[in-house]
Amino acid sequence: MYQLDKYGEFDLNDQGDIDIMGLKRMMEKLGVPKTHLDVKKMIVEVTGGSSNTINYRDFVRMMLGKRSAVLKL
């Protein structure tokens, strides 16, 4: 449940997805602040360009996947 708690922490508008501002906040909290453009690129990488937000499945893949966008940064 830890991942779900962390996911909810960055779902700033309580819509079930993490948007650009939520992801930007997460990166700042991780100590790796990113520009707005960098965060947009991360979302495109994680979602394959199919969405402007990250759903829970994308979040888990981003945090744990081999090609982790977060770990690369």
Map out the domains of the chain as residue ranges.
Answer: 2-72
Closest listed residue to residue 7, CA positions, set 45, 50, 48, 64: 64
At residue 9, what is the residue type? Answer: E
The CATH topology of domain 2-72 is: Recoverin; domain 1 (1.10.238)
Residue 41 pLDDT: 92
Distances (CA, A) of 12 to 19, 32, 43: 8, 19, 16
Predicted model pTM: 0.75
Among residues of the chain, what percentage have pLDDT more than 70?
82
Mean pLDDT of all residues in the chain? 82
Residue 3 clears pLDDT 80, i.e. is over it: no
54 — pLDDT class (breaks 50, 70, 90): very high
Q: Which 3 state secondary structure label does DSSP give 45?
A: helix
Distance CA 30, CA 28 (A): 5
Q: What's the mean pLDDT in 18-30?
A: 92
21 — pLDDT class (breaks 50, 70, 90): very high
Distance CA 34, CA 30 (A): 11
